C-alpha cells in the first residue's frame, strides 16, 4: 500500500484522502466489506474523486458486484481510467 500512497501523493493534481482496506475479508462479496462500502459511500457523496486500486480484481472479484457498483458510480459521474484506476 505504501507504493500507491506515495504514487498518489507524488501527483500534484491529486489529494490523498485515505486507504480503504478490508483486512482478511474475501473480495468475492462486497456486502460485508466495510472499507469497500465506506469508499463507495465517500465517492458517491463527493468526498473523494479518484479511487486507485492495485488491480480491478482488488476492487471486487464478483463480476456482478463489480458491474453494479461501477454502474452506480458512473451515474454519479465516475469513469474507469485504465486497469485499477477509477475517477469520479
pLDDT tens per residue across span 27-47: 667 888 899 899 899 999 988
What's the predicted TM-score (pTM) here? 0.79
Q: What is the residue range of 76's domain?
A: 2-87
More confident residue, 81 or 13: 13
Q: What is the DSSP letter of 17?
A: -
Q: Residue 22's closest CA among 8, 32, 13?
A: 32
pLDDT beyond 80 at 16: yes
Backbone φ, ψ for residue 86 (5° rounding): -125, 125
pLDDT tens per residue across span 47-66: 887 788 777 777 777 888 88
Quote the number of domains for the chain. Answer: 1
Alpha-carbon distance of 70 to 63, in angstroms, equals 10
CA 38 to chain centre: 10
Amino acid at each position: 500500500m505504501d507504493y500507491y500512497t506515495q504514487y498518489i501523493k507524488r501527483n500534484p493534481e491529486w489529494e490523498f484522502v485515505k486507504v480503504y482496506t478490508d483486512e482478511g475479508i474475501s473480495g468475492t462479496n462486497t456486502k460485508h466489506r466495510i472499507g469497500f462500502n465506506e469508499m463507495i459511500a465517500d465517492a458517491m457523496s463527493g468526498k473523494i474523486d479518484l479511487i486507485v486500486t492495485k488491480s480491478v480484481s482488488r476492487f471486487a472479484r464478483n463480476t456482478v458486484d463489480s458491474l453494479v457498483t461501477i454502474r452506480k458510480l458512473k451515474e454519479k459521474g465516475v469513469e474507469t481510467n485504465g486497469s485499477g484506476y477509477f475517477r469520479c
